[in-house]
Structure 1
Amino acid sequence: MTSSELKRKHLQAFPDSHFFDYKAMRFFGDTMANYGVLSYDEKTWMLYRKRPVKFGERSSHFFDKETFKEVFPKVDQGGQQ
């Protein structure tokens, strides 16, 4: 899975989503080339930034592997899944 494939599948499933909106990404100084995708667990893709953008933003986002909906995996207080 590449970041472009994830974007395409997410927008097919959720055409009104603004997650990958060009203007929003531009506001943060981000581009699709700055994203990578890893398999976080058996049900989730992790979209991560390769380098920080404006305001030091470097957070990752998670997407369900079947529905491509953005999800928020449960983590304990130590940051572990």
Structure 2
Amino acid sequence: MNDQGRDTTFELEDVTTVFEERDDYAEPLTASEVADELGCSRRTALNKLHELEAETDLMSKTVGARSRVWWIPVHV
């Protein structure tokens, strides 16, 4: 985890990079996994994921009572 504190600002591009730099581009991620990669709180990651979903083609799906996964669709 990074040594980033409360004053660190995360941009939407930071979150997109987490998805783009994975070995398995098709594997969905949780907000916690994104937060771990960025070194931020789960809430910060979740806010950015919701923002990206509204502004881009990022998609999400509920997979349990309180769980959601996120992915960038692969267009073929």
**Same fold? TM cut 0.5:** no
Pick 1 or 2: higher relative contact order, CA cutoff 8 A, min separation 6. 2
Q: Select the structure that is richer in strand.
A: 1
The structure with the greater share of residues assigned to helix is 2
Larger Rg, first or second structure (1 or 2): 1
Question: Normalized against structure 2, the TM-score is what?
Answer: 0.30
